[in-house]
Amino acid sequence: MKLSEAKSGDTLRILRIEHDCDEFACKLEAMGLRKGDIVKVLNKGFFGPVQIEVNGAKIALCRGQAKKIDVEKM
């Protein structure tokens, strides 16, 4: 499942981050988002960004970015 498909309140494990753009993967890693991390979806409305919490940090990703992250429910 993609992060963009998750619902608010879901707890997920990151399985894979697409590497179409190495710059994108590097930015996510700099924000503390890596394969194997556990994330919680804080807010995901019908439109707008997907807000997550990972390692105590809150991050907002646009829908296009969230579509590049494969996750599994915990």
pLDDT tens-digit series, residues 16-59: 988 766 777 788 888 888 899 999 999 988 888 999 999 999 99
Range of the domain at 56: 3-73
What's the CATH number where 11 sits?
2.30.30.90
User: Phi first, then psi: what are they for 27, rounded to 5°?
Assistant: -65, -40
* Total domain count, the chain: 1
What pTM does this model have?
0.87
**Cβ-based burial of 71 (10 A; exposed 0-12, middle 13-18, buried ≥19):** buried
To which residue do tokens 């646009």 refer? 62
Give the number of C-alpha atoms closer than 13 A to the C-alpha of residue 2, restricted to the C-beta side.
Answer: 12
